[in-house]
Structure formats: structure tokens, C-alpha cells
Structure 1
Amino acid sequence: MARIAELVAYPLKSNDGVALDRAELGAAGALRGDRTYALVEAGVDPHEASVGGSGGYVNGKREPAVHGLRASYELAGPTDATPTAVTLSRPARPETGTAAGERIFALPDDGDALEAWVGDYLGYAVDLVCEPDGGLPDDRTARGPTVVSRATLETVAGWFDAVADATEMRRRLRPSVVIDDCPAFWEDRLFADRGEAVRFAAGDAELLGVNPCQRCVVPSRNPDTGEAIEGFRERFVRKRRETLPDWTESDRFDHDFRLMVNTVVPEEWWGSSLAVGDEVTIAGVEPLDRELY
């Protein structure tokens, strides 16, 4: 029986995650507090900006220096990852003339100070933005938790000599839910064809798996240094095709640079919770309500 092995929220988008034993599903179905805050270039509207490399978000897709920042958090509660304070540390950066350092910022009160401190490190002005209702995920339609199996993380880590283990691969891929007691690529069972969803139960909730996640440049980079693995995408695509299970076949899986599953949480399940150790069971494929996705 598949079970939840890890729950991880990312209170400050594109920065370190925090492990939770139990997490409430908040507005729009995201883990409560997940990606509540984000950094964008000064003056950018986070709801209009692209999350891609040319967008206004200060993320690993467009700003490798983000990988040098370390973050830890004080949270609103044991099931709510909304940060009430964040401790940021940065390395010395000769390009911008900034020294290594560490600061604690209360949130939201110290937002201006955080903007100035990070902007000094990056060499350009940034804004700290907040979205308490549903957070600021990359996929603005499928806002539920992203899901991958631990066996998948172990398998994909083994494709690259530069990746130490499954934990490092998890940090590169940044899922919200890691499933155990199942084979590699089990999560591919959680999506079907276009116009369909896979309903599955986890904890107190029912979720709909809708889409295999399209990857970007971030998994190719060391999560601490930003150093990229040469030829990462090409090797990933080749190995993904070589190990593709029969159950992955779907018209949503239209290329091999996809891994992890995006989900939608129907509104009636907002406020329910997931916990480490909860069983995950698949109910079946059903038509996908266009209002949901």
C-alpha cells in the first residue's frame, strides 16, 4: 500500500522547503502556507509575470544566485507553513560586492528590509510579494500538491553521478508530497488522458491527478551551488524513455522531459489534511470538470 513518506512546503518560493508531519490543504487546495511569499523584480505584478526564465520572478530558472540563499522558517502552526519569520543566509558575492551574512526577518513587518538585503545580494531591486490564498505556484490552474514517489527519486538520482541521493533529487525537483511503498514512476498512475482526471484518496482528502509536470532547467542545478550538470536534459530524456512504464501512456505525456504529477483539489476537500504515514489509494479515472482545470 502506497503511503505518504514526506510532506514539504516552500514558504518562500524558489527557496528552501520545510518538512511537515501534517499539512492542511488551504485555499485552492495547496498545502497551507506553501509559496505564500515570493520575490519578483521590483514593480512586477506576480499574477501577471511568467514563471519561466524570461519572467519577473526571482527564481532558479532565471537567477542562479538564488541557489546560494539558504532559508529556514518560523511557521504559523504545525499544519500551516505560512512563515511568521524567515532566517536567510547568503554567501559572499564579488559580482555585487556583498559580504556573506545572515539575517532574521519577521513577516510581514520586515518585508522592506528583506527586499533590500536580498536586492543587495542580487545586484538589482526586488519586491517581496504575498498571496495568502493559494500561494504563488508555477501551475496557476492545478494548485494542489505535487506528487512523486521516493523510488522515482532514487531511480532518477542514479542516472547522474553528480546527484548524491534521493534527498538531493527531491530538493532539485521540489515536490510537495513524496510517496513510499510503491515502485518507481508509480505517480504516473495519477494522470490519464486530456479531459480526464485520476481521483485518489490521501489522508482526509480526495485529490485529482491531472498532468505530468513539465521540467525546466532547475533540476539540472545543484540546489546549494547552482552548478549545472552538463547534458542533464538529454540524459534525462533518454533514461526516462528507457524506463517508461506501460501505465504512463497518455496524450498528456507528450514528451519525455516530464516528471512528477500536478493535482487539483476540489473545493469540498479544502480544509482537510494530509499526514506522513497516510495511505494513498487510487479510486479511478473520471471526466475532468473544466471549471476545475
Structure 2
Amino acid sequence: MARIADLVAYPLKSNDGVGLDCAEIGPTGALRGDRTYALVEAGVDPDEASVGANGGYVNGKSEPALHRLRASYELADPADATPTAVTLTRPGRPETGAAADEHRFALPEDGDALAAWVGDYLGYDVDLVREPDGGLPDDRVAHGPTVVSRATLETVAGWFDAVADATEMRRRLRPNVVVDDCPAFWEDRLFADRGEAVRFSAGGAELLGVNPCQRCVVPSRHPETGDELDGFRETFIKNRRATLPDWTESDRFDHDFRLMVNTVVPEAEWGARLAVGDRVTVEGIEALDGALY
């Protein structure tokens, strides 16, 4: 019987997450407060930017030095990850002249100061942008919580001698919901073919699983140093294919560098809450609105 083991939100996109006991689903279906803030290159419109490398967002894909920042948050509410303040810690960077430092920024009022502080560390100007309603997720269609199983994290961590454990793999993959009491790759049950969705319940909320997440360079990088693990993609693909369950069959799974599931939350479920310990139950496959994938 699958259940929610961990809930994690990322109030400042591409920075450390924060664990939650309970999380409310906000407008557009994201966990409330998840990716509320993001860093972009100075002058970039976040609505026009791409989350890919060199797409305008200052994220782990484009800026390995971002991994060396540590973030802790003060939240609006135990079930709302919108940060009212963030404390950032940065190491020294002799190449940019930035000294090691720790600073607390109240949000949103200290947003410009935060951007200047991070820009000083990186060596170029950045802006802090804010989307208080739906956040700034990578997937602009399927805004819902991303889902993976703890057994998957443990299995994939075991593919790499340099990855310490499932917790490190979670930090590399950055899911919102970790499910326990189920086998590795159980989350692959939460997507079907194109044009279809898998309805599943988590506590009192119902979500639609739609797409296996295409991975990028970020999981190959150490979550605290940004150092890249040589051969990560090749090892991942080889082992993903070798361990692929029968239930992963889907025309959405069109290559082996996919892991974790993107979801959509129907509007009627906005405001519902997910909590650690909630049962997760697959309800069935249904047609998906043509506007979504």
C-alpha cells in the first residue's frame, strides 16, 4: 500500500528544498509556494526565458556554481512553502572576488538585495523574479507535484559508487513527492499513452499523472559542489533499460533518460492538501484534455 513518505518544496528555484509535513495545492496545481522565486539573467523576461542551458534562467543547468549556495527558509505557513525570508550561504569565489558570506533576506522586500548578493557571487548581474500564484516550474503545462518512489531513489543511487544514498539522489532529482511502501519504478504506473492520464488519489486529493520526466544535466552534478559525475547519463540509460518494469510500456517513454512523473491537478482539487503518511492509490486511466500534451 503506497503512501507519501516525503513532501519537498523548492521556494527558490534551483536552490535547496524544504521538507513539509503537509502541503496545500495552490493555483495551477503546484504545491503552494513551490518555485515562487527564481533567478534569471539581468533583464530577462521569465515568461520568455527557457529553462534549458543558456535559456535565461540562472539554474543548475546553466550555472554549476549555484549548487554551492545553501538556502534555508522561513515559510508563510506550515502548509505553504512561500518564503517570507531566505538565508543564503555562499563559499568564497576567488575568481570573482566574492568572499564567503551568509545573509538573511526578507521577501519580497529584499529581492533586489538578494539578486545583487547572488550576482556578486556569480560574477554577473541577475534578477530575482517572483510568481506568487503558480510558481515557476520547468514544465509549464503539467504544473502539479512531481512524484518518485523511495525504492527508485535507492535503486538509482546504487548504480553509482559516488552517490552516497537515496537522500543524495533525491536532492539530485528534486521531486516534490516521495512515495514509500512500493517497489522501484512504481511511479511509472502513473502515466499512460499520449492523450491519456492516470488518475490517482493522495489522501483527499486527486491528481493526474501525465508524463515521465525527461532528465537534464542536473542529476549528474553533486548537489553541494556542482561537480559532474563522469558517465552519469550513459550509466543511467544502461541501467534504466536493464531494470525497466513491464508496466512502463507507453509511447510517452520514448527514451531511457526519463525518471519521475509530472502531474496535472484538476482545478476542483486546488486547495486540497497532501500530507506525509497519506495513502496513494491508482484509480485508472482516462482521456486527457487535448491542451495538455
Q: TM-score range by the shorter chain?
A: over 0.9
Q: How does 1:188-227 map to 2 (within 5 A)?
A: 188-227=188-227
Where 2:121 maps in the other structure, the secondary structure is helix
The equivalent of 1:42 in structure 2 is 42
What is the CA deviation profile of residues 108-166 of structure 1, one whole-angstrom value per residue up to 9, with x for unaligned ones?
A: 11111101100000000000000011100000000000000000000000000010000
> Could you tell me which amino acid in structure 1 is paired with residue 165 of structure 2?
D
Question: Shift of the alpha carbon at 1:289?
Answer: 1.2
Residue in structure 2 matched with residue 279 of structure 1 by the alignment: 279
CA distance in 2, matches of 1:282, 1:190: 7
The 5-angstrom pairing of residues 74-153 of structure 1 reads 74-153=74-153
Contact kept? 1:202, 1:279, Cα under 8 Å? yes
Q: Does the CA contact (< 8 Å) of 1:266 and 1:292 recur in 2?
A: no
8 Å CA contact retained: 1:29, 1:264 = yes
Q: Report the CA distance between 1:290 and its aligned residue.
A: 1.9
Who is 1:14 aligned against? 14
- Looking at structure 2, the residues matched to 146 and 6 of structure 1 have their Cα atoms a distance apart, in angstroms, of 12
Query: Does residue 1:251 correspond to 2:251, yes or no?
Result: yes
How many positions carry a matched residue from both structures? 293
**Matched residue type, 1:290:** G
SS of 1:45 mapped into structure 2: coil
Listed one character per residue, the Cα deviations across residues 229-288 of structure 1 (whole Å, up to 9, x for unaligned) are 100000000000000000001000000000000000000000000000000000000000
Amino acid at match of 1:55: G
Q: By how many angstroms is 1:75 displaced?
A: 0.2
The amino acid that maps onto 1:90 is R
Between 1:107-116 and 1:208-217, the stretch displaced more is 107-116
1:182 aligned partner:
182
* Aligned partner of residue 152 in structure 1, secondary structure: helix
Identity %: 82
- Paired with 1:132 and 1:116, the residues of 2 have a C-alpha distance of 21
TM-score (norm 1): 0.99
Q: Give structure 1 stretches of 5+ with no counterpart.
A: none
**2:74 counterpart SS class:** strand
**Structure 1 residue 291 displacement after superposition:** 3.8
Residue 292 (structure 1) shift: 4.6
- Amino acid corresponding to residue 48 of structure 1 in structure 2: E
Q: What is the DSSP-based 3-state SS (H/G/I as helix, E as strand, rest coil) of the residue aligned with 1:104?
A: strand
Which AA in structure 1 matches 2:254?
D
TM-score normalised according to structure 2 size: 0.99
C-alpha distance after superposition, 1:161-198 (max 9, x if no partner): 01000000000000000000000000000000000000
Aligned counterparts of 1:259 and 1:104: Cα–Cα separation in 2? 35
For 1:25-49, what per-residue CA distance to the aligned partner results, in whole angstroms no more than 9, with x for missing partners? Answer: 0001100000000000000011110
Aligned twin of 2:167:
167
- 1:234 corresponding residue in structure 2: 234
Q: Tell me by how many angstroms 1:228 deviates.
A: 0.7
Hey, what does 2:73 align to over in structure 1?
Answer: 73
Tell me the residue number matched to 1:32.
Answer: 32
Q: Is the 8 A contact 1:85 1:106 kept in 2?
A: yes
Structure 1 SS opposite 2:96: coil
Quote how far apart the aligned CAs of 1:84 are. Answer: 0.2
